[in-house]
Amino acid sequence: MTPDPHRYDLDALRSRLLDHGEDADKGEGEVDDSIPQLADADPALCAIALVLPDGTTRTSIDAQVAFSVQSAVKPFLFALALLDTDGAALDRVGIEPTGESFDAIKLESGTGRPPNPMVNAGALLTASLVRGSDTAERDARIAEGLAAFAGRDLSVDEDVAHNEHLLGDRNHALAHLMRAEGTMRVGADDAVAVYARACATLVDAETLAVMGATLACGGVNPRTGRRVVPERVARDVVSVMATCGVYDGSGRWMRAVGIPAKSSVSGAIVLAAPGRLGAAVVSPPLDAQGTSVRGRRASEALSEDLHLHSFAAR
């Protein structure tokens, strides 16, 4: 019998993770140091949340601790780009996994497209495709869209946004490369600025779980009842999360966890189990693929305990 997720004890799971005796204290996992705010993250932070289709929310200790969403914003930028271009974004960005790092200076051979929307090149492009005639309008549209996914207004850490823009040399290189290929049609610096601000959006584990649940529920926010994106858009986004969301570890992730997900350098992971639930885990120490060490373990436990693996016989 499948356990009832309404009664699942996330604090007990959190304790199991913290009692494992590993992570940063014993050299397993490193906190990202690409900008000062990420380098200063508390390696002991560990929070888990899940949201069910009826809006029921389960949270652990620290599930309301705020952090910048970073790359976990990418599925939602992709969704907004699909919505605002009536699906034409699929002509501008690929959907195949790369087997390379998230910030690899690489575009599709022959097309100049980013390989998929879950790597930095793809997210820079999808952010540029969101409706707006300039950076201010695109910033406002992204803020509005992310708020709809979250079911509440979200703020931006301006210092994080500034440093993401200032120190994002590889993102600037990717944007200029796409401009040279004719793939990106806005200014390179403008594209990086919009993406940097999106990554600096502040969420917590509970909010990110609501956002994942909105995708898992076919584009309807289970808290507000509002349709945020059409069902087809949600399906397309979750499909690409399954194949590309954990970068060059996506195949191993889907074998072991079996839940479409997106990782981030802040240590957050957002999960969307279609028709079942949305979930989020945050713990800053990362593995070599840039995925939270504890987050991976928590996701494996959720998958096993709640029978969430997409390819398991039920």
CA distances from 126 to 74, 90, 114, 133 (A): 8, 10, 10, 14
The predicted-structure confidence for 6-58, as pLDDT tens digits, reads as follows: 899 999 999 999 986 544 444 579 999 999 999 999 999 999 999 999 999 99
Distance CA 76, CA 78 (A): 5
Q: Which amino acid is at 197?
A: R
pLDDT of residue 274: 97
- Count other Cβ atoms within 10 Å, centred on residue 97: 21
Q: Is 265 annotated as a binding residue?
A: yes
pLDDT of residue 98: 86
Q: Is 163 annotated as a binding residue?
A: no
pLDDT of residue 289: 85
The predicted-structure confidence for 65-90, as pLDDT tens digits, reads as follows: 999 999 999 999 999 999 999 999 99
pLDDT of residue 268: 98
Interaxial angle between packed helices 135-150 and 74-84, expressed in degrees from 0 to 180 and rounded to the nearest 10: 110
Could you tell me which CATH number the domain at 5-305 has? 3.40.710.10
pLDDT of residue 1: 61
Phi-psi region of 279 (alpha: psi -120 to 50; beta: other; left: phi over 0): beta
The predicted-structure confidence for 269-281, as pLDDT tens digits, reads as follows: 999 999 999 999 9
pLDDT of residue 2: 66
- Cβ contact 119:103 at 8 Å: yes
For the chain, the domains span 5-305
pLDDT of residue 247: 87
Distance CA 160, CA 202 (A): 10
Q: Tens place of pLDDT for every residue, the chain, 314 residues? A: 667 888 999 999 999 999 865 444 445 799 999 999 999 999 999 999 999 999 999 999 999 999 999 999 999 999 999 999 999 999 999 999 988 888 888 899 888 999 999 999 999 999 999 999 999 999 999 999 999 999 999 999 999 999 999 989 999 999 999 999 999 999 999 999 999 999 999 999 999 999 999 999 999 999 999 999 999 999 999 999 999 999 888 999 999 999 999 999 999 999 999 999 999 999 999 998 889 999 999 999 999 999 999 998 86
Distance CA 293, CA 289 (A): 10
- Count other Cβ atoms within 10 Å, centred on residue 124: 28
Q: Is 221 annotated as a binding residue?
A: no
DSSP summary character for residue 219: T
